[in-house]
Chains A and B, each alone.
Chain A
Amino acid sequence: MYNFPTKQGYFGRFGGKFVPEILIPAVEELELAFEEARNDESFKKEFLDLLKEYVGRPTPLSYCNRLTEHYGKAKIYFKREDLCHTGAHKINNTIGQILLAKRMGKKRIIAETGAGQHGVATATVCAKFGLECVVYMGEEDTVRQKLNVDRMRLLGAEVRPVYSGSKTLKDATNEAIRDWVTNVDDTFYIIGSVVGPHPYPMMVREFQKIIGEETKRQLQETEGKLPDYVLACVGGGSNAMGIFYPFINDSVNLIGLEAAGHGAETHMTAASIAKGQIGVLHGAKSYLLQEPGGQIQLAHSVSAGLDYPGIGPEHAHLHDSKRVQYYPVTDADALEAIKLTSRLEGIIPALESAHAIAYLEELMPTTSNNEIVVVNCSGRGDKDMGTISKEIFGD
């Protein structure tokens, strides 16, 4: 029986809490608050009610008939996280964490964001609960995800561009941690993925596992069985942990797709598992892209949400234990998948989710007609129209 993390926050040899002393009281306080909350029926009820009435859950599990015909093999389903309020799975987690923040009496919320989806999801719940919100975002991302910057501002959040390092998600996370170190008494840091020090990777997984639980139930209703394959893109890896976790003890092939950028063999990549070594960043031990000497390598992906040199520690463990297979998918293949899915299914997926869809090209020829493949369509592509216009239409 799979039973991670340990009390110390380890998934095998990954995870832990590598934080400055100033944050030790904060992560301990959070750990206690989360343990109390998860065993409190009223907390669970409030969380699930909000997911239903505010987020719009359960999200559909859509049968993709034309994509299925296109490949002529296994049946393909999409788990439609793109239909969540705010356009991605990120809000499942921000609802959970803001309820916790409220419970802990915190007045101020901070967050980091890459593609802006987590930033928008955080700004949204802060508006809903009336809390102050500061979102750190790499300057490069504020340009390529301008639409989300304006959404956050409209929702009343302050977006602080980060100019250090690669000016992307990694640096936004550094800056958010610096803010947390400075304002630790009254500030709650809503981390957007299954990364960071313990208890974050576990806590975010717990708030996201509703994706997999619903998928399991919905497929049972329509097909009367478990899927054969579940596919999800992995940056930090929250949508993937969310859909994988409820299947972890089942005989289901779980496949995580990393962003290879220009190719996992190049320097322009974000494929931490294919190319990384074990290291410590942002509070946890995991696989990281590193330069010789152990400086963190700048990641590259066309998708801002996957443009991160690390991966959640639980994924590192699931890779080590071989329970999940991880493969890299290039920028170009992800863009092709957006075109295909848009035309065949009338669904414009997020660039991030398109990495998972793109893997169907490899997977489908190896499947058979009586099998079922579920892809987590973790977000919608509206936010990516700027990049898509440039990359696909050459505008």
Chain B
Amino acid sequence: MSRLKNVFTGKKDGSIMSLYITAGFPEKTSTVNLVLEMEKAGADIIELGMPFSDPLADGPTIQYASDVAIKNGVDLDVIFDMVSEIRKSSRIPIVLMGYINPILYYGLEAFCKKAGESGADALIIPDVPIEESKELKAEAHKNGLDVIYLVAPNSKDERMKLVDTESSGFVYCVSVTGVTGARSGEEVAKSVSKFKDRVKASIQKNPIMIGFGIKSHDDAKQIAGDVDGFIVGSALIETIRSNYPNSDWKEKTLAFVKALKGN
């Protein structure tokens, strides 16, 4: 069984926690250790952000982390090395998340091959919808990588079913329209329940992970309690940002992760 499938086996209580960090933020050398420590602190899945200069689906927080990572010299080869290094001591599923342009520049075929070899499990490419996905999906699957697509509150039921058919690993459920990091958990909780009913009716094949606007364990319980799990990105990056470079930035970050998980 694949590492990603394994995570979802037998659980359906909203407790699966996927954490997004931009690779190479805040330091190029901090990522591997941070991932391993976050796993110990309760992370079930890691989404490793591949930085891009023009992240048009992201808010200021992830834009900032991407800029820092690019300045730190992070490119795709650096990220493959990070994944290989993590794989030496961990089986936590790693989802590579980023925009398509650096991947095209690297070469779609070479990228998927290297990603698979390094031990990554899946891809989320937010600016490649299903319509543009044929080659990407073929190359990814050839190399044992799942491709995860997104649904949003304005996705029609038919579209959700298509996303479910096309996705493997899980379906990323965007809780609100907007960029990453823009809304509060309360705002999301208010609007999300109707949307979730539609999601649960349409997404039958894949686990459902819900993200956008989750900043605390309470948010997670409230928003994701009745799906498979939740995704936190901007709030985690924001925690790192506000504590780095103090000597205890990592402890603070891991404390935040533990609290998110409810440990």
A residues neighboring B (CB under 8 Å): 8, 16-22, 24-26, 164-165, 170-171, 174, 177-178, 181-185, 277-283, 288, 290-291, 293-296
Residue of B nearest to A282 (CB): B56
Q: Distance (Å) between the CB of A163 and the closest chain B CB?
A: 10
Residue of B nearest to A184 (CB): B177
B53 touches which of A20, A165, A280 (Cβ 8 Å): A165
A182 to B183, CA, bound (A): 10
- Residue contact A16 to B155, C-beta cutoff 8 Å: no
Known: A18-B132, A280-B100, A280-B104. A178 touches B56 (CB 8 A): yes
B22 CB-CB contact with A under 8 Å: no
Question: How many residues of chain B get a CB closer than 8 Å to chain A's CBs?
Answer: 40
- Residue contact A296 to B54, C-beta cutoff 8 Å: yes
- Residue contact B104 to A21, C-beta cutoff 8 Å: no
- Residue contact A20 to B104, C-beta cutoff 8 Å: no
Q: Distance (Å) between the CB of A167 and the closest chain B CB?
A: 13
- Residue contact B105 to A294, C-beta cutoff 8 Å: yes
Contact residues in A for B149 (Cβ distance below 8 Å): 21
Contact residues in A for B131 (Cβ distance below 8 Å): 8, 16-17, 24
Number of A-B contacts (CB under 8 A): 109
User: Could you pull out 23 A-B pairs where Cβ atoms are within 8 angstroms?
Assistant: A17-B131, A18-B127, A20-B56, A20-B152, A21-B150, A21-B163, A22-B177, A24-B159, A25-B156, A178-B59, A181-B179, A182-B177, A183-B177, A279-B101, A282-B56, A283-B127, A293-B76, A293-B102, A294-B105, A295-B70, A295-B102, A296-B53, A296-B101
B110 CB-CB contact with A under 8 Å: no
- Residue contact B177 to A185, C-beta cutoff 8 Å: yes
A268 to B76, CA, bound (A): 26
Contact residues in B for A19 (Cβ distance below 8 Å): 127, 129
Q: Annotate B171-183 by CB proximity to A: 1 below 8 A, 0 otherwise.
A: 0001001110010
- Chain B interface mostly: loop
Contact residues in B for A16 (Cβ distance below 8 Å): 131-132
Residue of A nearest to B70 (CB): A295
- Residue contact B155 to A25, C-beta cutoff 8 Å: yes
Q: Annotate B66-99 by CB proximity to A: 1 below 8 A, 0 otherwise.
A: 0000100001100000000000000000000001
Contact residues in A for B177 (Cβ distance below 8 Å): 22, 181-185
A21 touches which of B99, B155, B178 (Cβ 8 Å): B155
Contact residues in A for B63 (Cβ distance below 8 Å): 164
Contact residues in B for A293 (Cβ distance below 8 Å): 75-76, 102, 105
Known: A18-B127, A178-B179. A281 touches B54 (CB 8 A): yes
- Residue contact A22 to B100, C-beta cutoff 8 Å: no
Residue of B nearest to A22 (CB): B152
Residue of B nearest to A16 (CB): B132
Contact residues in B for A288 (Cβ distance below 8 Å): 101
Q: What are the 4 closest A-B residue pairs judged by CB atoms, nearest first? A: A294-B105, A294-B102, A182-B178, A295-B53
Contact residues in B for A295 (Cβ distance below 8 Å): 52-53, 70, 102
Residue of A nearest to B131 (CB): A17
